């Protein structure tokens, strides 16, 4: 692991131990919605409340507030702050923000001291207390140095102390990591062993014997230690590549894993193996968003119209654009309210051809989406339009509309959700990358609807896909049409 990354990641538990760079990184991670306050706090070893306070402090006073060095506070200023904090209509956090204090805990400490000292400000004198050693020298006159010297630890006691320190450090480290890869854990343990060798001045054999002698600790052989140490040192040469990987990861809000980041690096002219990118991301602790399953919206209400034959049969891909279109509706729940997204996907480019966001999943929403699609691609005809057996798609008016526009309707078999798997997969990707785990970022349904629209634009124009030869859906459409000319 890069020593600089190691120092930043496991720096300390208070905001005062964070560097200016750490605080700026925390601020932009929050603003770019890469992580939640809890995740950021876990990364930098501070509470989520301190993360939120730091962001609010910078929002109120700007990044220039981080330039201020340590400053002392006069008794009059402390009293003024304490009196405002005692006001039942004010919170400690708001008072701390008003006076641009680096930590809200300062107000709490001043309040506690104020109450303990009879509601009086006590000024602590700087410097050491005067030391009158005359009496001490008199008392010591009858004692020999041998009597005053503390007894030294025996070899057995010293080894027991070292064993305890080694066990505590490695145990804490192995319990803290959430990685499942053995290599990621080995790198952290290797760094800890190197640090223990410097601190305790003991041999590598002693430390490894202590670690491997405990069944609760992850074992590390001598060969693995030196191999990992050599590999970690080698990664210092990849600093430029690691910085670009982190930039891409943050730019796409943790939506890109190592495969997609590798594709983007190759688009930029870099020759890099995907395994190397994966290893460097593991070292930096960059983990892409994982899939979280949720209950999905179903528009199926039984047979209320004509059920069309399944003409797709899970053969989703088409050679050219506008040969197969897939449509479905999904539901979003936010603070007891609901909104619905009706989307249309192309089987060749996987582009979102058209979509409509509405508070109600009615027929008007579906018709409006289709009219936008036809207006955007007026030459699309004789294509296959595939959906599930939702009531909107069984509606006679809608089926007549499809016939008038020369579209052949196809429907999934009953109980076979995989028959409409292409657009179901898109909905899963959309919710995983911009909704699940980010609900706290949306203050209203209107804000959520706007975020959905922004994500679809990002999905079509910026998000590359390995199945599309490392291109975005819009780029892939242009390349296919150009090749067909």
309 domain residue, yes or no: no
289 domain residue, yes or no: no
Q: What is the mean pLDDT of residues 112-121?
A: 72
Residue ranges making up the domain that contains 422: 324-484
Q: Could you give the count of Cα atoms lying within 13 Å of 307 in the half-sphere of its Cβ?
A: 12
Phi, then psi, of 394 in degrees rounded to 5 = -90, -10
- Cα separation, 173 vs 192, in Å, equals 8
In the prediction, which pLDDT does 194 show?
83
Neighbours of 449 (CB within 10 A): 18
Q: Taking 90 as the threshold, does the pLDDT of residue 107 lie above it?
A: no
CB 332 within 8 A of CB 312: no
Residue in 372, 300, 294 with CA at minimum distance from that of residue 329: 300
Q: Taking 50 as the threshold, does the pLDDT of residue 176 lie above it?
A: no
246 and 112 belong to one structural domain: no
Could you report the per-residue pLDDT of 375-389, keeping only the tens digit for each? Answer: 998 887 778 999 988
301 domain residue, yes or no: no
227 domain residue, yes or no: no
pLDDT band at 102 (very low <50, low <70, confident <90, very high): confident
pLDDT band at 9 (very low <50, low <70, confident <90, very high): very low
Final residue of a structural domain among 220, 245, 267: 220
Q: What is the mean pLDDT of residues 113-126?
A: 68
The total number of structural domains that make up the chain: 4
Could you report the per-residue pLDDT of 80-90, keeping only the tens digit for each? Answer: 888 888 777 78
CB contact burial 400-428 (16+ within 10 A = b; e otherwise): ebbeebebebbbbeeeeeebbbbbbebbb
pTM for the model: 0.48
299 domain residue, yes or no: no
β-sheet bridge partners, residue 337: 334
339 and 479 belong to one structural domain: yes
21 and 81 belong to one structural domain: yes
Looking at residue 330, which CATH number applies to its domain? 3.30.420.10
184 and 39 belong to one structural domain: no
Q: Taking 60 as the threshold, does the pLDDT of residue 461 lie above it?
A: yes
Q: What is the mean pLDDT of residues 278-299?
A: 67
**What percent helix, strand, coil does the chain show, rounded to 5?**
55, 10, 35
Strand segments, DSSP code E, in 300-427 are 324-334, 337-346, 352-358, 384-387, 408-411
458 and 350 belong to one structural domain: yes
- Cα separation, 32 vs 254, in Å, equals 10
Could you report the per-residue pLDDT of 203-259, keeping only the tens digit for each? Answer: 888 888 888 888 888 888 888 888 777 766 566 677 888 888 888 888 887 878 888
Q: At 411, is the secondary structure helix, strand, or coil?
A: strand
CA distance to 153, 192, 211, per residue, from 165 (Å): 16, 11, 11
Higher pLDDT among residues 201 and 329, named by residue: 329
Higher pLDDT among residues 186 and 153, named by residue: 186
468 and 335 belong to one structural domain: yes
Residue in 402, 374, 285, 381 with CA at minimum distance from that of residue 10: 285
Residue in 74, 78, 71, 77 with CA at minimum distance from that of residue 114: 78
| Dihedral sign of CA atoms 357, 360, 366, 368 in order | negative
77 domain residue, yes or no: yes
Query: Dmax over Cα atoms in the chain, in whole Å?
Result: 114
CB 344 within 8 A of CB 373: yes
147 domain residue, yes or no: no
Q: Taking 70 as the threshold, does the pLDDT of residue 11 lie above it?
A: no
pLDDT band at 200 (very low <50, low <70, confident <90, very high): confident
């Amino acid at each position: 692991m890069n020593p600089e990354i190691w120092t930043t990641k496991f720096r300390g538990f208070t905001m005062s131990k964070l560097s200016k760079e750490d605080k700026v990184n925390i601020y932009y991670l929050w603003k770019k919605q890469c992580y939640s306050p809890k995740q950021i706090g876990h990364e930098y070893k501070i509470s989520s409340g301190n993360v939120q306070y730091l962001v609010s402090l910078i929002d109120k006073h700007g990044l220039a507030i981080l330039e201020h060095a340590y400053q002392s506070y006069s008794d009059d200023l402390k009293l003024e702050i304490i009196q405002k904090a005692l006001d039942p209509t004010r919170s400690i956090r708001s008072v701390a923000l008003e006076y641009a204090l680096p930590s809200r805990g300062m107000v709490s400490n001043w309040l506690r001291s104020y109450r303990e000292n009879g509601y009086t400000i006590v000024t602590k004198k700087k410097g050491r207390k005067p030391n009158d050693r005359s009496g001490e020298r008199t008392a010591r006159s009858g004692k020999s140095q041998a009597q005053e010297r503390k007894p030294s630890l025996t070899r057995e006691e010293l080894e027991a102390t070292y064993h305890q320190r080694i066990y505590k450090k490695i145990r804490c480290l192995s319990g803290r990591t959430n990685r499942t890869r053995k290599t990621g854990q080995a790198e952290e343990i290797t760094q800890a062993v190197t640090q223990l060798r410097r601190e305790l001045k003991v041999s590598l054999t002693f430390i490894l014997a202590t670690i491997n002698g405990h069944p609760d600790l992850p074992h590390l052989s001598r060969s693995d230690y030196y191999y990992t140490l050599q590999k970690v040192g080698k990664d210092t040469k990849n600093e430029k590549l690691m910085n670009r990987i982190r930039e891409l990861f943050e730019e796409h809000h943790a939506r890109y894993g190592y495969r997609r980041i590798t594709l983007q690096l190759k688009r930029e002219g870099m020759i890099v193996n995907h395994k190397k990118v994966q290893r460097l991301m593991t070292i930096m602790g960059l983990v892409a968003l994982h899939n979280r399953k949720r209950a999905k919206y179903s528009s199926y209400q039984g047979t209320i119209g004509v059920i069309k034959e399944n003409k797709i049969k899970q053969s989703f891909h088409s050679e050219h654009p506008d040969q197969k279109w897939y449509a479905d509706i999904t539901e979003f729940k936010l603070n007891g309210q609901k909104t619905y997204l009706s989307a249309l996907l192309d089987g060749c480019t996987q582009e979102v051809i058209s979509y409509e966001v509405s508070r109600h999943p009615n027929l008007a929403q579906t018709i409006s989406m289709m009219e936008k699609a036809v207006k955007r691609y007026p030459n699309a005809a004789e294509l296959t339009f595939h959906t599930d057996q939702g009531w909107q798609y069984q509606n006679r008016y809608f089926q007549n509309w499809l016939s008038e526009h020369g579209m052949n309707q196809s429907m999934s078999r009953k109980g076979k959700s995989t028959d409409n798997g292409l657009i179901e997969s898109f909905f899963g990707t959309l919710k995983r990358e911009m909704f699940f785990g980010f609900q706290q970022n949306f203050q209203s349904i209107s804000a959520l609807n706007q975020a959905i629209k922004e994500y679809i634009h990002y999905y079509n124009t910026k998000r590359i896909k390995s199945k599309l030869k490392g291109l975005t859906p819009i780029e892939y459409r242009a390349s296919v049409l150009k090749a067909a000319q």
